[in-house]
Structure 1
Amino acid sequence: MRFLSEKLPGVAVLGIPLLWISVFMLLPYAIIATYSFWTKQYPTFSPDFQFGNYLTLFTDPQYSKVLIRTLKVSLLVSLFSFLLGYPFAYFLAFRCKSQALRTWLYMAVIAPLWVSYLLRAYVWKTILGTEGVLNSFLMSIGILSEPSDMFLYNQFAMVVTLTYIFIPFMVMPIYTALEKIPRNLVEASADLGLRPIPTFLRITLPLSIPGVAAGFTMTFCLTFGDFVAPFLVGGPDGNLVANVIVTQFGTALNWPMGSALSILVLVIVLTVLSLSGRVERHYSPKEV
């Protein structure tokens, strides 16, 4: 009885989260995985065990084209988020001497996360539209003689919108990683005669790689699974893999194909998470 009384609280605490994960995560994944082997038979689908759905994903050009486009957009969003977010995080961690200013700037980064996702996407649809701020500015300085629709409903619009939406997820882990870097390492580098740029390349950047890997993982995975922004600003040729999944489960009523595509997305995301974890472990400071 004493053994049970000691173990019961731990089992209860651990059992509730495990039950929640099993019912609301593992079970739906199992159902989706089962559907992916079924066969589409109009107007519904029938149980089967075949790999035709997965074979179609790699042989049908329309699916491979969407997957390549999604990978391209996700990588571009991650790259631009890094190029914009790293200097900002570096400034906050190393150059901003005022604690109040640092707090306000950091809050400015995370504040958009409190605003509706749809509102943030619609803002860029308004900015890039034919009557938006960008067209008005270019017309006012004489670059354009009339409004242009070249800024909206294309991959450029998707990358800009998604970079704006997800850049906080790049800045936050990089800033955290930079904050943890011991300042005496940078000072010792300067004392030994190493100039700022070599110091950054040999000390600061390598020690911040775990934050970069975490930020890249979040921006990449969030972009890879996004379907709202492509619908709003991507146009007819801007569908990403998530839009195709929505179509398969909705309009096309092809649940087996939608399930196969969902499992493929899950495999890609888990692969990225695994690689990111290895990078973080490799570059994390080793305890002595």
Structure 2
Amino acid sequence: MIFRSDAAKGYSLSAPATIYVGFLVAAPLAILIAYSFWTQTYVTLDKSMTLNNYREALTDPLVQHLMLRSIWIAGAVTIVTVALAYPIAYFIAMKAHKKTIWLLLITIPFWSSYLLRVFAWKLILGFNGVMNSALLGLGLINEPLSFLLYNEFAVVLTLAHAWAPFAILPIYVSLQKIDPSLLEAATDLGNNAFQRFMRVTLPLTIPGIIAACLIIFIPTVGDYVTPALVGGSDGKMIANLIQVQFGAANNWPLGATLSLLAMLSVGFVAIVFVITGNRLGRRIR
């Protein structure tokens, strides 16, 4: 009776969260899966089960190209952001005295709208933007640079800036958890600063690095606002095609299929990355 009573209490306590997740996650995902097996012609929705959407999506060169480009851009954003975030997180965790102020400064970009930050980069990188005007004023170039905007470079740069705090914070937390006595012991054993970092600091922060990579990679694959505003035709991603299917093309089944395939692709890459990261962490140790 005690076990049943405790079990009942546990179920009752978890019921609100279960219902919440069911309505906001499981139910929409189930609807998405159902739509992927249907077909739609203009406003007519045919609920007959078919795999035509999957065949079309998997054999369409445009879908394959955009999927690979999305993974490539998300991977580039992840590498650039983490590479820049690690030194900042290291400085705040190991060197800075007033850590709260530094952490507050990191969150300042979130005080403004995401769209405003994207438009700001559009103004900076534009043909007549801030960067070209500055370079022309300094006499470093004779005419405005046209490759700064409406390409993959602009998308990577804008997304890296937008997601930088999400990379800094998990790395900072992992650095904060390092026991100083471990660094002191490494020093006593004759390790210099670089050796201490490679043998103690870096291995212990691998979980934070993996978390930062996943936090950045997963949502950037599905970003369609930034590619639409600063990517141009050379910076479009799979999410832009999905948005077109749900919007202008009015083909929800194909849009649902593309969404599921994108989710599976991201999940596969994320799993491979986590396994590789854990193995690398064990080798470093």
Provide TM-score, normalisation by structure 1: 0.90
Instruction: Verify the 8 A CA contact 1:45 1:255 in the aligned structure 2.
Output: no
| Equivalent residue number for residue 64 of structure 1 | 64
| Equivalent residue number for residue 53 of structure 1 | 53
Q: d(CA) in 2 for partners of 1:29 and 1:131? A: 44
Q: Give the CA RMSD over aligned residues.
A: 2.3
Q: d(CA) in 2 for partners of 1:115 and 1:157? A: 20
Which segments of 5 or more consecutive residues in structure 1 lack a partner in the other structure? none
What is the correspondence of 1:1-288 to structure 2 with a 5 Å cutoff? 9-96=9-96, 98=97, 100=98, 102-275=99-272
Provide TM-score, normalisation by structure 2: 0.91
> Cα offset for 1:41?
2.9
Instruction: Verify the 8 A CA contact 2:183 2:200 in the aligned structure 1.
Output: yes
Instruction: Verify the 8 A CA contact 2:67 2:262 in the aligned structure 1.
Output: no
Secondary structure at 2:178 match in 1: coil
**More divergent stretch after superposition (64-73 vs 107-116):** 107-116
Q: d(CA) in 2 for partners of 1:248 and 1:95? A: 50
> Cα offset for 1:275?
4.7
Instruction: Verify the 8 A CA contact 1:129 1:152 in the aligned structure 2.
Output: yes
Percent identity between the two aligned chains: 39
Deviations 1:211-268 (A, max 9, x none): 0000000110121111111111011232111111110011111111111111112223
Q: d(CA) in 2 for partners of 1:223 and 1:202? A: 32
> Cα offset for 1:42?
4.0
**More divergent stretch after superposition (195-204 vs 175-184):** 195-204
Q: d(CA) in 2 for partners of 1:282 and 1:213? A: 12
Letter in 2 for 1:249: F
Q: d(CA) in 2 for partners of 1:194 and 1:79? A: 28
Q: Rate the CA distance shift 1:14–1:279 in 2: closer, same or farther, 3 A.
A: farther
Q: d(CA) in 2 for partners of 1:83 and 1:284? A: 17
Find runs of 4+ consecutive structure 1 residues off by over 6 angstroms: 1-5, 279-285
> Cα offset for 1:62?
0.4
Q: d(CA) in 2 for partners of 1:215 and 1:266? A: 19
Q: Rate the CA distance shift 1:24–1:194 in 2: closer, same or farther, 3 A.
A: same
Q: How many residues align?
A: 282
Instruction: Verify the 8 A CA contact 2:89 2:171 in the aligned structure 1.
Output: yes
> Cα offset for 1:106?
1.7
Instruction: Verify the 8 A CA contact 1:173 1:212 in the aligned structure 2.
Output: yes
Q: d(CA) in 1 for partners of 2:272 and 2:171? A: 18
Secondary structure at 2:186 match in 1: helix
> Cα offset for 1:274?
4.0
Q: d(CA) in 2 for partners of 1:207 and 1:246? A: 40
Letter in 2 for 1:269: V
Letter in 2 for 1:233: V
Q: Rate the CA distance shift 1:77–1:3 in 2: closer, same or farther, 3 A.
A: closer
> Cα offset for 1:8?
5.2
